[in-house]
Amino acid sequence: MENPDPLVIDRRRLNLGKYTRWAASLSDEEMYGLLWFLGEFGIRTSEYNLVDSIQEVGRARTGLLGALGFVHGRPVTQEQAMKAIRNAYKTSPLPQDLNQASHD
């Protein structure tokens, strides 16, 4: 599914939405970080194992917690998101760990 057209996001439209206002000021790198976290969560989860994915330490949970961090004012870049996911192999990143990654 290849689309050669560039993706354009209207920040004014994001700013108008009650549930999207938080994303209006994201940088390009932070938007890629958000997409990375969502993709990591989505690819490792299905509607049949959603609860298990959230409860178990691992990449799916880290992806979900990372994406939620964006909504709560803790955006990270794609590189920081990738680092948090890699660290999920070794440890259990909690939301404060993801916040720390945003300052690395």
Dihedral angle of Cα 59, 97, 37, 16, to the nearest 10 degrees: 150
Q: What's the whole-number mean pLDDT along residues 65-91?
A: 89
Q: What is the pTM of this model?
A: 0.70
Q: What's the whole-number mean pLDDT along residues 29-46?
A: 89
**pLDDT band of 37, cuts 50, 70, 90:** very high
pLDDT of residue 93: 44
Q: What's the whole-number mean pLDDT along residues 55-74?
A: 89
pLDDT of residue 1: 63
Is the model's pLDDT at 56 over the cut of 50?
A: yes
> How many CA atoms within 13 Å lie on the side-chain side of 71?
10
